[in-house]
Amino acid sequence: MRLEEAVSELLQDKLNNRLYPFILPQKCAFPAVAYTPISISRVHSMQEDTGFVKQHMQFSCYAKSYKEAINVATIIRKQLQNLSGTVGGLFIGAVLVVGEMTDYESNTGLYSVMIEFEFQFKEE
């Protein structure tokens, strides 16, 4: 299972099934979240791939109010920060918050909070 699938499985219920890969669908209900895998690095040894992976993912939380966008980002942070264990059959060793940024999009009238995580896990 890919990390994106495991994380989606973990978060969908908590986000009212409004978690989408890359972009939000047209006319979706808010608040809603789009996640984007940013980078993947694999650790190698002299002889082989170790299976240890570090992957960064960004979650962009969109809402009609700033407070609502912050609340959604907080739900995600509380679910993921310092997470370790098996999620969707994938062993996650650690999840670290890398950064957070806020914005307002005047053309859509939406507030956004982007939160980035580093996931450290073992690939099968």
List the structure tokens of 109: 């009238």
* Domain ranges across the chain: 3-122
Which H or E run includes 10? helix 3-11
Tens digit of pLDDT for each residue in 50-72? 889 999 999 999 999 999 999 99
At 82, the pLDDT band (50, 70, 90 cuts) reads: very high
pTM of the model: 0.93
Q: 123 exposed, middle or buried (CB, 10 Å; 0-12, 13-18, 19+)? A: middle
101 contact partners, CB below 8 Å, separation of at least 6: 113, 114
Q: Identify the DSSP state of 86.
A: E
Cα 49 vs. chain centroid, distance in angstroms?
Answer: 25
- Looking at the predicted structure, is the pLDDT value of residue 117 above 90? yes
User: What is the per-residue pLDDT for 57?
Assistant: 98
Distance CA 71, CA 15 (A): 11
Mean pLDDT across the chain, nearest whole number?
95
**pLDDT value, residue 51:** 86
Q: Which of helix, strand or coil describes residue 106?
A: coil
Domain 3-122 is of which CATH architecture?
2-Layer Sandwich (3.30)
